[in-house]
Amino acid sequence: MSHMPRALVTGVHGQDGYYLTERLLSEGWEVHGLARDEDAHLEIDDRVVLHRGDLADRPALAALIETVEPDHVYNLGGISSVAYSWEHPVLTAEVSGLAPIALMSAALDLQGRTGRDVRFVQASSAELFGEPATSPQDESTPIAPLSPYGAAKAMAHHACRVFRQHGLHASSAILYNHESPRRPESFVTRKITSGVAAIARGESDELVLGNLDARRDWGWAPDYVDAMLRAAAHDEAMDVVIGTGRSYSVRDFVAAAFEAAGIMDWERHVRVDPRFVRPRDATELRADATRARAELGWRPTVEFAEVVSRMVAEDLR
């Protein structure tokens, strides 16, 4: 690249958008971010070229790629909640399934028009695997989604391979749960750490949750951003599973969060309400990130207890 390298990041206002943008800026990239019209102004907006628009507006996505002429496109935007996807299945398919295809198609056109290498990274999800029969999962685990969210993500994942075969450097990073103080409270981790902080401050005495037995592979969000950067920089585009390889139950997370706040008799503060129990829920999602380690040199840097205590510390502040 003879010019200053340019990245386009969709979902720039999300947890991963924030960490990815910080990394790209620190490495000398010009960052263009896509955020929805209705999103508030965020501090990061002053450091990126902000484009307002909707992932459902596919002509606008194509026009954006054509005018920005990015070297790398990171597709982090879309609908991130399984529950929401059941309420809005068509919108989910548009935003999380068709938008990535529109972006890849425009990236391929840009590559053809300019003769420049354009690289695409799709933030895929372990939700692709539905309720997998085996654990841990890797790149050869069957894709078998169980929600409109998973189906839309599966479509985008398959499209990465299709466009890759057609000459686009398109990688699908199958990201397991990754957390930070920037995680919204719609995810169980942040719901727990902010609930525990409220209890520690005496503002509340109860935390109401769903299935405590589900096991997830929870990592530190900036590590997953690092994996996406490595995927984009690698010679060959690929499908790659990103996770720590260790799983813990929701109950383990709850216990660790209370412990981090200095509360040992946590059971009396926790109640299970069927309202939060999902009709279908994978028993265990756990990553086998052998390929990421071997080919990308990636490894997670923050272990479970430290992820939990960093989130609790931030919520206590």
Q: Determine which residue in the list 188, 254, 255, 292 makes contact with ligand GDP, applying CB under 6 A.
A: 188
Does residue number 284 form part of the binding site for ligand GDP (CB under 6 A)?
Answer: no
**Pair 288, 245: CB distance under 8 Å:** yes
Whether 125 is a known active-site residue: answer yes
Q: Is 177 in the site for ligand GDP (CB under 6 A)?
A: yes
**Binding segment toward ligand GDP, per CB under 6 A, in 55-63, 101-109, 166-174, 187-195:** 187-195
Name every residue whose Cβ is closer than 8 Å to that of residue 152 and which is 6 or more positions away in sequence. Answer: 78, 79, 85, 92, 93, 95, 96, 97
Q: What is the DSSP letter of 294?
A: H
Burial of 38 (0-12, 13-18, 19+ CB in 10 A): exposed
The correct pick among 245, 276, 284, 293 for binding ligand GDP (CB under 6 A) is 276
278 near ligand GDP (CB under 6 A): yes
Residue 281 touches ligand GDP, criterion: CB under 6 A:
yes
Residue 6's DSSP bridge partners are: 30
Examine residue 191 and tell whether it contacts ligand GDP (CB under 6 A): yes
Which among 160, 155, 137, 134 has a CA at the least distance from the CA of 145? Answer: 155
Separation between Cα atoms, residue 306 and residue 300, nearest integer Å? 12
Q: Contact region for ligand GDP (CB under 6 A) — 18-26, 203-211, 288-296, 300-308?
A: 203-211
Q: Which of 204, 192, 179, 206 is nearest to 268 (CA)?
A: 206
Q: Shortest distance, CB of residue 144 to ligand GDP, whole angstroms?
A: 16
Q: Which stretch binds ligand GDP (CB under 6 A): 159-167, 182-190, 259-267, 286-294?
A: 182-190
Q: Find the binder of ligand GDP among 50, 200, 214, 227 (CB under 6 A).
A: 214
Q: Is 267 a catalytic residue?
A: no
Q: Count other Cβ atoms within 10 Å, centred on residue 206.
A: 11
Least distance between ligand GDP and beta carbon 211 (Å): 4
Q: Which of 82, 93, 154, 231 binds ligand GDP (CB under 6 A)?
A: 82
- 127 catalytic residue (yes or no): yes
Alpha helices in the chain (DSSP H): 15-26, 58-68, 82-87, 89-92, 99-114, 148-165, 188-200, 221-233, 250-260, 290-296, 304-316
Q: How far is the CB of 236 from ligand GDP (least distance, A)?
A: 28
**Considering the complex, what minimum distance in angstroms separates the CB of residue 281 from ligand GDP?**
5
Q: Which of 85, 96, 125, 171 is catalytic?
A: 125
- Using CB under 6 A as the binding rule, whether residue 180 contacts ligand GDP is answered as no
Question: 10 phi and psi, to 5 degrees?
Answer: -85, 155
Q: For residues 175 and 188, what is the distance between their CA atoms, to the nearest angstrom?
A: 17
User: Any idea which residues carry the catalytic annotation?
Assistant: 125, 127, 149
Q: What residues line the site for ligand GDP (CB under 6 A)?
A: 82, 177, 186-189, 191, 209-211, 214, 216, 250, 276, 278, 281
